[in-house]
Structure 1
C-alpha cells in the first residue's frame, strides 16, 4: 500500500455516498476508500472479465476502457489479474479516471504483483472497499464485492469469461440491479468466450462495436477527429483511403494500399471496433 494515502470512510447516510450505489437492494452500510471519492458518483461503466486473458480479450479490454475514459466516463473494475487490470491500465493510459473495487481490506494489495497499479489508482483514481483494513480476501468477499462493481455503473461489459468466471456473477448482479449488460462475442471454440457467448444467448447485448455502449446508453462519444488522430500509422493510411474514396470495397483498399486481403480485413475489424469506420452491403464508410 502507498502509506502516504489517507484511508477515508463514507457511510450510507452521508451525502457523499455514491448515488448509483444507493439504488441497489443491498448497498454496503460503509465504504472505505483511498483517492477521489467523487469518481464513484460520476457516470461509469464497468469492464470486467477472466483472470487469464487471451490476446483478443486483452486488446478489447484496453481499447474499450481507453474509449470510455477518453469520452469522460469512469471505468470501474476489480483490480484482479487479467481483464480487470488491463481495463484499469487502459483508462489510466487515456488520461481518464478509474475505480478499483477490492474484495479485501482497503489496506491490502491483492494480487500482490499489482502494487504499482494499486498505488497509481490511489493517486489518480479511487480504491474502494466495503471491508475495513486488515480483512483478507476470501471465496466469499470477492463474489460479494461484484455487486458494488455493477452497482456503481450504468452498464457492465463482460470482455471474456470462462464457465465459472467471477465476472458472470457481476453480470448477474447487474441484471438484478436493472443495469445494462454487454458481452463481447468470441470464437465458439475458445474457452475464454464460453461465458460471454452464453450471456449473449441469454439476452446480453452483443458488443459488436465499442460505439454500441454509447449508442445504447445514450452517452456522448469522443469527437471523431480526436479518435482518428490517436490511430496507428497503418490505421491512419486506411482511414485516409476510405475518406478519399467516400465508399470503398476491400478489393479497392487492397489495390490502393498494396496490402493483402487478410491484412485489410484485420485492420478494418480493429477500426470498426474503435468506431472509426463501418461496413454495409460490402462497402466501407467513415462512421459519423
Structure 2
C-alpha cells in the first residue's frame, strides 16, 4: 500500500504532514454524531490553516487509519493515494464548493485533474437516445483533448466513461462510495479499468459508510456531484427528470461559476420544468455542439 503526497508547492512545510494520520483523523471526524460535509466544512472554515489532525487525538487517528487500511485491503484495494487540503496537489478549484472537502481518496493518475475537464451527466434510467448522445459527446470531448468526468452511475454516466475510453481519451470518475465499494455492482469492471488506467476519486469516509445504513449512504451521491462540478470547467446535462440527482450538480455549477450546458432535447420534454429554470439562471441551451465549444473557448 503506497500513499503519495507532495508537500506544499509554495515552499517547505512547517512540519511534515503524515497522510496516514490525516486520513485517520478525517475518518474519526466523520464518526462524530451528526457529522456532515456541512458541519465539517463549517469547522474548518473557523481555522483556515487547520488539518484534520488538529481536531483528533493522535491515538484515535492512528486507530481509524489502521481500520481503513484493513477494510480497503480486504476489499482488494492495495494501492491508493490521498489529497489533503494544505498539502501539495490538492486542487484549489475544489474550494469553490459550498462545503469543500478536506481530504480525497484516489486511485490512478492524479495528474489528470490538471487537464481541461468537462463533466457529462444525466439520468440513471437513460433512454437509448440519451446513451447515444452521451457516448457521442464523450468522443467529441476527447477529440478536443478534454478529459471526460462523470459519476460511474448507470445510464448516462457509464456511457460517457465508456465513450471516452473507447476513443482513447482520459476519464475521471467521482464516485459516491468508498474506493473499496462499487455502485452499481455491474460497473465493478468499469470502475477497475478507470482506477487502473485513468482516475477514480472518492470523498466518502470508509468507516462511516461501513457503519451506517444504506439509506443514509445514499446522501453521499449528491455530494459527489458538487465535487465533480468543482473539478471541471463545465457540466453537460444529457437528460434528467425533475427529481434527478443531476440537478444537484446543475445548481452547484452555477453557484461555483462553472459553465452549465443543457442539451436541447431536455427543453423539448413536456413532463419536466427544470431546463427553462436553469436557462433563466445562466445555463447554455445546446442546439448544436458548437454552442458548447464556443462557450468553452
Scaled by the length of structure 2, the TM-score of the pair is 0.68
Residue of 150, 158, 165 corresponding to 2:229 = 150
- State the SS of the aligned residue for 1:146: helix
The yes-or-no answer on 1:104 pairing with 2:177 is: yes
Residue of 66, 82, 88 corresponding to 2:155 = 82
The yes-or-no answer on 1:184 pairing with 2:263 is: yes
Provide the residue aligned with 2:218 in structure 1.
Answer: 139
Aligned positions, number: 217
Deviation at 1:190, TM superposition (A): 6.1
Query: Which piece of structure 1 moves more, 2-11 or 108-117?
Result: 2-11
Query: Is residue 121–residue 127 contact of structure 1 (8 Å, CA) maintained in 2?
Result: yes
The yes-or-no answer on 1:63 pairing with 2:143 is: no
Deviation at 1:79, TM superposition (A): 0.6
Matches within 5 A, 1:145-224: 145-186=224-265, 188-189=268-269, 191=271, 195-196=274-275, 198-200=277-279, 202-218=281-297
Provide the residue aligned with 1:251 in structure 2.
Answer: none
Query: Is residue 20–residue 41 contact of structure 1 (8 Å, CA) maintained in 2?
Result: no
User: Within 2, Cα distance between the matches of 1:73 and 1:4?
Assistant: 28
Query: Is residue 104–residue 141 contact of structure 1 (8 Å, CA) maintained in 2?
Result: yes
User: Within 2, Cα distance between the matches of 1:203 and 1:124?
Assistant: 35
- State the SS of the aligned residue for 2:264: coil
Matches within 5 A, 1:43-58: 43-58=116-131
User: Within 1, Cα distance between the matches of 2:237 and 2:78?
Assistant: 31
Deviation at 1:50, TM superposition (A): 0.5
Deviation at 1:209, TM superposition (A): 1.8
The yes-or-no answer on 1:72 pairing with 2:142 is: no
Considering only CA atoms, is the larger Rg found in Structure 1 or Structure 2? Answer: 1
Deviation at 1:174, TM superposition (A): 0.5
- Cα RMSD (Å): 2.1
User: Within 1, Cα distance between the matches of 2:129 and 2:78?
Assistant: 35
User: Within 1, Cα distance between the matches of 2:188 and 2:83?
Assistant: 24
Report Cα offsets for 1:154-179 as digits up to 9, x if no partner.
Answer: 01111101010110110000100011
Residue of 16, 33, 41 corresponding to 2:114 = 41
User: Within 1, Cα distance between the matches of 2:82 and 2:89?
Assistant: 10
Q: Tell me, which stretches of 5 or more residues in structure 1 are unaligned? A: 219-288
Query: Is residue 158–residue 196 contact of structure 1 (8 Å, CA) maintained in 2?
Result: no
- Alpha carbons of structure 1 residues 23 and 203: separation in structure 2 relative to 1, 3 Å: closer
The yes-or-no answer on 1:8 pairing with 2:8 is: no
Report Cα offsets for 1:125-177 as digits up to 9, x if no partner.
Answer: 11101123352562311111111010001011111010101101100001000
Query: Is residue 19–residue 41 contact of structure 1 (8 Å, CA) maintained in 2?
Result: no
- State the SS of the aligned residue for 1:6: coil
- Alpha carbons of structure 1 residues 90 and 25: separation in structure 2 relative to 1, 3 Å: same
Provide the residue aligned with 1:267 in structure 2.
Answer: none
Query: Is residue 77–residue 180 contact of structure 2 (8 Å, CA) maintained in 1?
Result: no
